[in-house]
Structure 1
Amino acid sequence: MKFLNFKSIFFIATLSICFLIKNTASAQAIEKTSQGVHFTSQGMDIQIEFYTNNIVRVYKTPSGVPYNKKSLSVVKLPKSVKVKFDAKGEITLLESNTLQVQVNAESGGITFYDTSGKLLLKDKDYGTQFTPLDDAGTPSYTVKEGFLLEKNEAIYGVGQIMDNKFNRRNSSHAMQNENMSTYSPYFMSVKGYAVFWDNYSISKFNDNPQELSFEGLGHCSDYYFMYGKNADGVIAQVRDLTGKAPMLPLWAFGFFQSKERYHTQDESLNVVKKYRELKIPLDVVIQDWRYWPEYNKSDSLWNSQSFDKERFPNPKQWANEIHKLNAKLLIVTWPGFGPKTDQRKEFDSKKMIINFDTWPPKSGARPYDVYNPEALDIYWRYLNKGIFSFIGNDGWWLDSTEPDHIDRKDSDYLLPTHLGSYRSVKNAYSLMHNKGIAVNQRKTNEAKRAVILTRSGFIGQQLYGSNTWSGDVVSSWEMLQKQIPAALNYTLMGIPNWNSDIGGFFAGHWKKDGGNKNPEFQELYVRWMQFGTFCPMMRSHGTDLPREIWNFGDRGTWCFDAQEKAINLRYSLLPYIYSTSWDVSHNSGTFMRPLIMDFASDPKTHDIGNEYLFGSSILVAPVTQYKTRKWPVYLPEGSNWYNFWTNEYLTGGQTVSTETEVDKIPLYIKSGSILPFGPKVQYSTEKKWDNLEIRIYPGANGEFVLYEDENDNYNYEKNLYSTIRFKWNDASKTLTIENREGSFPGIIKFRKFRIAIASKNQIFDGTHFEIIKTVSYSGRLVIVKL
């Protein structure tokens, strides 16, 4: 990074007009720019700029020490925004059509309001601190940024934190991305705004009655204030600023099977074959570590991105056989390389290795410098030649993307990277690693959407099709419970794709009393699988005990049957899930929706982190205790609800005790919902959606948009897709199926919709509805009176 003369940067960038604001203490010069202001206060140069009507950037540096910041997360450039300026005494007022920003040039205080004058957030007077610091020989600072919130204001985000808390008020966190801990310096308020402090260093988050603060290492304090009025609006601003989430292929929403590890190509291939023989749906098998040669039984060839000739004698045929079984293959790759790999030798020769030991221990493996653009390209060159273009795999498992740090020493954090000391950029490691692979894969082959499973994350990573999993969590009821609020806070950072190892990773303590046949472990696994059914990725994985369904018993035993029921439910919901994925991509939507997203006006939702809406209609309340057959579920005020399994109709604003047999997860459907159900299949694309069941849940008006495309590739970005909008009028009991919009190769031109309607309090098995009308549809408007 380079220090530049501030005056040359600033005056080239903007044509400034100076005016004076006077107060009793002193005269502060405020320079008015086209979309903001610049001034000096409290020993800092401060620049405020509207990026959009809803996004304001605040950039602070020590006075006279300019710094040219290049963001790793922010992809948006400022848009032209009409900003009104006014001066009232010592206060300068900036206003767009949605936000007001008041600036106190004497104290450096900055206050955000909506246009009606409602207080949103205050950047604390005298709340920014720069403390000089020698950062591995480079002059730098410890930077602290403080804010003032209302006393009872609920906030969310900060990261995936395993403390079983949802509301992040009155908490402190060491923000250092590691296995199971994934942070970004960001928080969202229930008041409808968020702050992203654009800093990648090992940092601190602290909220107490005096202030909320971020503290980290850097040359500037750089944050973005985003106003969206509600959580959906905030997430739309986050994606506008740091990148939209691309569509994942349809198969990525099917069932994934994995374990640590399949030792040979035949072992994993036979797993797919057995699922097909049992007629249990499966879309993906994953190959974990050590498929590469093991030199002298050591790990010196760790992550060579090549295949052992004895255990994987014909990897291309292996991948082809998996594809012939209509399944997909993900391959693991790591950021660290053993000392005898070609990659390591090249990276070492070009000084592109960060010289600390990474996984596995005592192997000599070390991570590459992801902050160097050339290193990202070199990494892909080997990965593409050794795997992607060689065998044609379908996606990547990026393990250890924090990365793992073995035998760590304080001095390791001072090691150089392309962008400065390791400690100054550590938390963005996963972001850059994911970026290098996703961007390069698309350059190589646009026929396959990038699918990445990764163990860490940072704001902006949603741009690369990444799905973060919660890390190597232990198999316990307590840990299952912690997954839910951790996931919800993570997705409120604008990163929609998240999952966990179904059953938990470390399961060794369950080996007593039968392992996979231990009744408590079986129930834990089933309950975790039910939760996984309603996550963006449904993936079984772990060590110590194998996780394939037949290891738990045979068909006809409760554990086998409960798993099969959950997997079949996932596949029947694929039209709903894939349409939701379009909403996530096209409208900046969210898969896992904490209740505050849709029911913020109900204060009881502000601290509820153990249930959520999956998409717009399905309320999910995972069971996280052993032998529990009644589970309390809060039904938010503002809607009425149907028990998915019984059709019982209940009013919102109450907690209900829900019967929850071991094969049923508590699910409630919001009144006014329209849900499409797909055919029974063995993999996601086995059958066309030409005869869908459309379930209507009366009690309110509603609508649903059914999305379809070619199921993979990026042609949807060229408008090669179709949508069909369904509208329910509750008063007239009329379903309107509007004209289909759009087209793509292979579109279904003629189809049937089987219409079913929920009958209040009609007790039934939720897997079956009575069809009351079948409608033929050729893409033209159809109105159905029910």
Structure 2
Amino acid sequence: MHSRNRYSLVWTFMWVMGFALSSCAQQQGTSGMTYYPLTHGVEIHLQDSRFTTRVIRVEAVSPTIIHVQASTEDTLDVFPSLMVVSQPSAAFRCQVQARPPLVIFSTDSLQVQIHTDKDQIRFLDAEGQLLLEEKAYTGRQFKPVTVGGKPLYQVSQVFVDTARDAWYGLGENQLGLTNIKGQIIELAQHNTEAFVPFAWNTHHSGLLWDNNGISLFSPEACTGYSELNGLELRNADGQPGALTATYEQDFRRTGDPIVRQENHIAYTYLPDLKHLPPAFTLNPYAQVTWEGTIRSPYTGEHTFLFTVGGYLKVWWNGKLLVDRWRQSWNPASVLMPVHMRAGEAYPIKIQWRPDGSESFFSVKWHRPISEAERQRLRFASEAARNIDYYFVYGANPDSLITGYRYLTGSAPLFPRWAYGFWQSREHYASQQEILDMVARFRQQHVPLDNIVQDWFYWKKDQWGSQQFDPARYPDPRGMIDTLHNRYHVHFMISVWPKFYETASTFRSFWDSGWLYRQNIWDQQKDWVGYVSTFYDAFNGRVRKAFWNLVDERLFKLGVDAWWLDASEPDILSNATIGKRKALMNPTAAGPADEVFNAYPLVNEQAFYEGQRQVAPDQRVFILTRSAWGGSQRYAAATWSGDIGATWADMKNQIATGVSFSMSGIPYWTMDIGGFATESRFQHPDTAAQHEWQELMTRWYQFGAFCPLFRAHGQAPYREIFTIAAPGTDTYNAILFTDRLRYRLLPYIYSLAGEVYLHHSTLMRGLAMDFPDDSTACELTDAYLFGPALLVNPVYTYQARSRNVYLPAHTGWYDLYSGKYFTGGQTIQAGAPYDHIPVFVKAGSILPLGPAVEYTDQKPADTIVLQVYTGADAQFTLYEDDGRSYAYEKGAYSLIPIRYDDQHQRLTIGQREGSFAGMLQKRVFIIRWINQAHTWKFDLYGHEGDQLVEYDGRAIQLQMPRNFHLPQSASS
């Protein structure tokens, strides 16, 4: 069937024509175009030689979502999307008016103007206000390429941001950015960078770029960073053409270094390491220094991009601007913006200490980006059949994210235990070690819900067997049963899509054609010393076979959740992008160039669909190192990969988590404490030990206010009792943080209910709730956790206070003291060792549950409601059985709670819905909080101002009169 008829005609649809359109083509004289009506849109064929575009198809998916496809071919072939799963929504009104060369397509919410004489589409709201537009004439580009013998196109589309707004989204970046406008971001999955091709602004516009290949988001004229030789370089002696590079084999000793002149620094990937001087070897004491001056032909802010594994210091004009460390084998990206004047020489000194036998380092730069260029946003992809994107309209950021999830799938609820605390390390080496570790948590009454088995639980040469090594795990089923029944702890296990050539499962998958071939043909060994490859997750039969293997050998043992590591896919770490694609080719979905970024999505699909088939009433939970558009529909959360255990890495995680969450996927987490550690922390002196303990303390405090709360890392390990001894300040601070998370579970689980029911977002960049507060929107080191809590992590060693901006147009209460502050100001907030600054928005209701050591230890039969007055408030307490999918059939309850600030009245409303095991009665303890009456936060207490018994019927409570503010104070 032709694609224009692919939607069922049961959809009610009304066309209002400017000209009488029939089901056949309508020729428009000399207009240079032909158009066809579609069930929910219009298809236009262009015959204008000025443009490479030949076909444009515009279709409404809903009244607020428009699907745009364009081709340079004479026909537009439509292929199933890996990301998008929606069909047009229920009946909605559309109309088309054709006044060639202009075709106007509209719904009740949007007007889409298709200017065929400009090869341009403009998006306007129902009142005719321009929201976003494609650049006219040259904004759409197609360049023929051949990929794997297949004719495709490099494509690009430029959008003009007439609102001059900030843009958010695109998944994780590790650059400390939330506002991505004017930035150059390559969407190519890496360890620590998981991309989602959805971005939006606060001017009601969102874009989902439906291309699964490697893509670039940038200002129009920017195609990426350049090598240093694009600048005028002079060496340490003032000679033109290069910087002076000094290679020292051991910086601790004097000797004869290797000195040479270099005009680019590019030790980015494995093949690049052969360009090091032959007599120079990478080791922890090696050091390379580049010195000289740099001139640019441009005036303005230049950006230098460093990729570093090891230690990096950069002095610019005599000032130290960069001082970073990252584990040598997993380099980090570091931005250094500097202002330069055209023709002026700037001294630069770059010092790199590799800190390992395999380290990577590069330096690139980009010229200043003009304001006009910043207003033209460009998506470009290296391989495509068509240009394919969705425009999403929304009244606010939440509705834009709702549009994204409508297109790519809703986020199901995780089991309730997943919102508690998880303990992990790299790695537990035996069954006994796991049981001993969990026993210690319970003995010391440290709350815990999940223990994680990382990699290498198999025999050394059996990666991909999905079997425990019986020498170290003699009874895995018994181990898991003990965790469940004695300790009430759940068990997550790491599963890679990887097969060793020596694994017992390799031959059957290889002979069936289910494994990628190239790495086996190359006989490329991994860091353990064995040859391996990955399975082709794009093949539905292979996904099913892989799940069947996992089901038989792991799930049937009682495993509760899945940790999908290296899902970028990371077949060979630190290979070039070209090599990484070659290692995937061919996939069942076509050349890797077309589908490279979507591997994590289809890998998640294998587990989600597999488990739901064999255990349809047990909630799936997946943690994955990478993600893609739609990952949330497969019950997948993402963590930020193998970051470093540094203060700078921790600070960057704030922006990383916010950016990822603002991309539409609601569940994000990180390795609390960072994954890899410097040698000074592995063998610490007293000073390093104190710093390590404080770093862990501050990281736990940040992690408790993330959607998922998990600690993980290499030695030294992250268990509370390995960080510090019981009774110490560090131990007590981490224990307080863990217990605080559990008191907040009614709040957190209700937020999860909002994610499922209303597409909400837990970790909220301040632009989501305060789009008109420019100061708030610019912050990258603070965020809202749910609608109530303003979280301000501490990421500076020995800091006992930090600047906190309180967004305007509302009041704020310190969570711990109850003290009130007016919004719209920056304060110096106290940050004692045992907590970070957290503020509660006036007009909030914060429910606190019982003190428990695991989520299901006891029902929340008593809940403290902290009512923060000063504005109307509402909160809906969501509850279900916490385990099954009965909630999908309506088996859940909602208790609406409202506070009327004018009448100072709290209403606990009629309970709606029910589920098996629901509490029929409970106690609510009310704490009224205002400027005259505060409550200091008490982790263990259940005292309050009022106590009421609730049986599901509505209750109203009046604030006691003696708590009221004096008239002068409240005005």
TM-score range, shorter chain: over 0.9
Paired position in structure 2 for 1:303: 464
Paired position in structure 2 for 1:240: 406
The 3 A distance-change label for structure 1 pair 749 and 528 is: same
Is 1:698 paired with 2:869?
Answer: yes
Q: Equivalences for 1:577-656 in 2 at 5 Å? A: 577-656=748-827
Paired position in structure 2 for 1:267: 433
Counterpart pick for 1:351 among 485, 496, 513: 513
Q: Deviations over 1:559-613 (max 9, x none)?
A: 1011001001000000000000000111000010111111112222222221111
Paired position in structure 1 for 2:390: 224
Moved more, 661-670 or 517-526: 517-526
- Asked if the contact 1:57–1:225 (Cα under 8 Å) also holds between the matched residues in 2, the reply is yes
Paired position in structure 2 for 1:371: 538
- Asked if the contact 2:562–2:623 (Cα under 8 Å) also holds between the matched residues in 1, the reply is yes
Counterpart pick for 2:151 among 134, 139, 145: 139
Kindly provide the amino acid, as one letter, of the partner of residue 145 in structure 1: Q
Distance 2:459 2:841 in 1: 53
Paired position in structure 1 for 2:592: 422
Distance 1:266 1:12 in 2: 58
Distance 1:261 1:593 in 2: 32
- Asked if the contact 1:438–1:464 (Cα under 8 Å) also holds between the matched residues in 2, the reply is yes
Paired position in structure 2 for 1:4: none
Q: Equivalences for 1:425-436 in 2 at 5 Å? A: 425-436=595-606
Paired position in structure 2 for 1:383: 550
Paired position in structure 2 for 1:785: 958
Counterpart pick for 1:96 among 107, 121, 132: 107
Distance 2:408 2:686 in 1: 45
Structure showing greater radius of gyration is 2
Distance 2:27 2:774 in 1: 45
Distance 1:761 1:47 in 2: 61
Kindly provide the amino acid, as one letter, of the partner of residue 35 in structure 2: I
Aligned residue pairs, count: 772
CA drift at 1:552: 2.0
Paired position in structure 1 for 2:37: 32
Kindly provide the amino acid, as one letter, of the partner of residue 133 in structure 2: K
- Asked if the contact 1:200–1:425 (Cα under 8 Å) also holds between the matched residues in 2, the reply is yes
Kindly provide the amino acid, as one letter, of the partner of residue 503 in structure 2: T
Unmatched 5+ residue regions in structure 2?
A: 10-21, 221-371, 520-524, 960-971
Is 1:86 paired with 2:97?
Answer: yes
- Asked if the contact 1:16–1:34 (Cα under 8 Å) also holds between the matched residues in 2, the reply is no
Distance 1:8 1:650 in 2: 62
Distance 2:855 2:37 in 1: 56
Paired position in structure 2 for 1:52: 62
Q: Equivalences for 1:185-584 in 2 at 5 Å? A: 185-208=197-220, 209-210=372-373, 211-216=376-381, 217-294=383-460, 299=461, 301-324=462-485, 325-357=487-519, 360=527, 362-389=529-556, 391-406=557-572, 408=575, 410=578, 413-414=581-582, 415-509=585-679, 510-514=681-685, 518-584=689-755
Kindly provide the amino acid, as one letter, of the partner of residue 98 in structure 2: A
Kindly provide the amino acid, as one letter, of the partner of residue 322 in structure 1: L
For the residue of structure 2 that corresponds to 1:513, the secondary structure is: coil
Kindly provide the amino acid, as one letter, of the partner of residue 956 in structure 2: I
The 3 A distance-change label for structure 1 pair 777 and 517 is: farther
CA drift at 1:89: 5.3
CA drift at 1:764: 5.9
Kindly provide the amino acid, as one letter, of the partner of residue 127 in structure 1: G
Distance 2:594 2:953 in 1: 57
For the residue of structure 1 that corresponds to 2:750, the secondary structure is: helix
Paired position in structure 2 for 1:3: none
Distance 2:580 2:526 in 1: 15
Is 1:114 paired with 2:129?
Answer: no
Distance 2:745 2:607 in 1: 27
CA drift at 1:524: 1.1
Paired position in structure 1 for 2:80: 70
Paired position in structure 2 for 1:16: 23
Counterpart pick for 1:178 among 180, 190, 200: 190
Q: Deviations over 1:361-390 (max 9, x none)?
A: 64211011010000100000100000101x
TM-score where L is the length of structure 1: 0.95
- Asked if the contact 1:369–1:417 (Cα under 8 Å) also holds between the matched residues in 2, the reply is yes
Distance 1:671 1:328 in 2: 37
Over the aligned positions, Cα root-mean-square deviation in angstroms equals 1.9
Distance 2:157 2:687 in 1: 50
For the residue of structure 2 that corresponds to 1:417, the secondary structure is: coil
Paired position in structure 1 for 2:317: none
The 3 A distance-change label for structure 1 pair 359 and 254 is: farther
Percent of residue pairs identical: 34
Q: Equivalences for 1:754-765 in 2 at 5 Å? A: 754-760=925-931, 765=936
Distance 2:167 2:5 in 1: 38
- Asked if the contact 1:56–1:226 (Cα under 8 Å) also holds between the matched residues in 2, the reply is yes
Kindly provide the amino acid, as one letter, of the partner of residue 231 in structure 1: P
CA drift at 1:181: 1.1
Q: Equivalences for 1:706-717 in 2 at 5 Å? A: 706-717=877-888
Moved more, 221-230 or 339-348: 339-348
Distance 1:514 1:565 in 2: 27
Distance 1:81 1:455 in 2: 39
Moved more, 494-503 or 128-137: 128-137
- Asked if the contact 1:249–1:449 (Cα under 8 Å) also holds between the matched residues in 2, the reply is yes
CA drift at 1:114: 0.7
Counterpart pick for 1:129 among 114, 119, 141: 141
Distance 2:830 2:28 in 1: 66
CA drift at 1:186: 2.3
Distance 1:645 1:516 in 2: 30
Moved more, 353-362 or 160-169: 353-362
- Asked if the contact 2:131–2:163 (Cα under 8 Å) also holds between the matched residues in 1, the reply is no
- Asked if the contact 2:198–2:664 (Cα under 8 Å) also holds between the matched residues in 1, the reply is no
- Asked if the contact 1:636–1:652 (Cα under 8 Å) also holds between the matched residues in 2, the reply is yes
Q: Deviations over 1:721-769 (max 9, x none)?
A: 1111111111222111111111111111121111111142667642267
TM-score where L is the length of structure 2: 0.77
- Asked if the contact 2:5–2:38 (Cα under 8 Å) also holds between the matched residues in 1, the reply is no
CA drift at 1:281: 0.3
Distance 1:157 1:626 in 2: 30
- Asked if the contact 1:647–1:766 (Cα under 8 Å) also holds between the matched residues in 2, the reply is yes
For the residue of structure 1 that corresponds to 2:938, the secondary structure is: coil
Kindly provide the amino acid, as one letter, of the partner of residue 692 in structure 1: I
- Asked if the contact 1:193–1:230 (Cα under 8 Å) also holds between the matched residues in 2, the reply is no
Kindly provide the amino acid, as one letter, of the partner of residue 250 in structure 1: R
CA drift at 1:719: 1.2
Kindly provide the amino acid, as one letter, of the partner of residue 954 in structure 2: L
CA drift at 1:650: 1.1
Moved more, 245-254 or 28-37: 28-37
- Asked if the contact 2:693–2:724 (Cα under 8 Å) also holds between the matched residues in 1, the reply is no
Unmatched 5+ residue regions in structure 1?
A: 1-6
Distance 1:597 1:631 in 2: 23
- Asked if the contact 1:40–1:63 (Cα under 8 Å) also holds between the matched residues in 2, the reply is no
CA drift at 1:151: 6.6
- Asked if the contact 1:647–1:761 (Cα under 8 Å) also holds between the matched residues in 2, the reply is no
CA drift at 1:107: 2.0
